[in-house]
Amino acid sequence: MKREEKEKEKAATTAENIVDDAGLDEKIHGDFLISNKKIYLNNGSVGPVPISTVKAITDFYLRYSEHGPDSAESNEYLENLKRETRQRVADLINCDSDEIIFTSSTTEGINFVTQGISWNKDDKILLRDAKNEHFSNYLPWVKAANDNNLQIETFPFDNENLVIEDLTKLIGSSTDAPRVVTTSHVMYNNGSITPVETMGSIIKKKNKKILFSIDGAQSVGAIDVDVKKIKCDFLSFPAFKWVCGPLGIGVLYVNKKVMDNDFEPVFVGAGSAQIESNKVKGNNPTNTSNKTWETLKFYKYPQKYHSTFRNYPGLAGLESSIRYLLRIGIPNIYKKNKKLSTIFREEISKINEIVIHEASEEGMRSSMVSFSFKRNSNNRVRMLVEKLQEKGIILAEREIGLKKIVRASPHFYNTENEIIKTINEIKVITSKM
Domains identified in the chain and CATH numbers: 72-269+298-326 (3.40.640.10)
Confidence (pTM): 0.89
- Residue 7: which pLDDT band, with cuts at 50, 70 and 90? very low
Do residues 237 and 256 make contact, with C-beta atoms less than 8 angstroms apart? no
| Least confident among 59-68, 235-244, 278-287, 394-403 | 278-287
Predicted confidence (pLDDT) per residue in 268-298, tens digit: 887 777 787 765 555 555 555 555 567 877 7
Predicted confidence (pLDDT) per residue in 367-403, tens digit: 999 999 998 889 999 999 999 999 999 999 998 888 8
- Residue 301: which pLDDT band, with cuts at 50, 70 and 90? confident
Instruction: Say whether pLDDT at 28 is over 90.
Output: yes
Cis peptide before 69 (omega within 30 of 0): no
Instruction: Return phi, psi of residue 295, to 5°.
Output: -125, 155
Do residues 433 and 427 make contact, with C-beta atoms less than 8 angstroms apart? no
Whole-number Cα distances in Å, 224 to 64, 216, 219, 236, 297: 34, 11, 8, 15, 38
pLDDT reported for residue 162: 58
Q: In the Cβ-directed half-sphere of 232, how many Cα atoms lie within 13 Å?
A: 29
Do residues 417 and 383 make contact, with C-beta atoms less than 8 angstroms apart? no
SS3 of the chain: helix, strand, coil, percent, to 5: 45, 20, 35
| Least confident among 150-154, 300-304, 338-342 | 300-304
Report the C-alpha gap between 48 and 245 in whole angstroms: 7
Report the C-alpha gap between 83 and 62 in whole angstroms: 20
Beta bridge partners of 356: 371
Q: Specify which of 129-133, 158-162, 348-352 reaches the highest per-range mean pLDDT.
A: 348-352
pLDDT reported for residue 287: 52
pLDDT reported for residue 134: 92
Do residues 327 and 10 make contact, with C-beta atoms less than 8 angstroms apart? yes
Helix, coil or strand: residue 228: helix
Q: What percent of the chain has a predicted confidence (pLDDT) above 70?
A: 87
Among candidates 232, 270, 230, 282, which has minimal Cα distance to 254? 232
- Over range 49-78, report the average pLDDT: 93
Report the C-alpha gap between 133 and 291 in whole angstroms: 52
Do residues 17 and 23 make contact, with C-beta atoms less than 8 angstroms apart? no
Instruction: Say whether pLDDT at 158 is over 90.
Output: no
Q: What is the DSSP letter of 303?
A: G
| Least confident among 91-95, 314-318, 377-381 | 377-381
Cα 287 off chain centre by: 57
pLDDT reported for residue 306: 76
pLDDT reported for residue 326: 97
Query: Amino acid letter at 258?
Result: V
Max intra-chain CA distance, the chain: 93
Mean pLDDT over each residue of the chain, to the nearest integer: 88
- Over range 159-178, report the average pLDDT: 68
Beta bridge partners of 373: 354
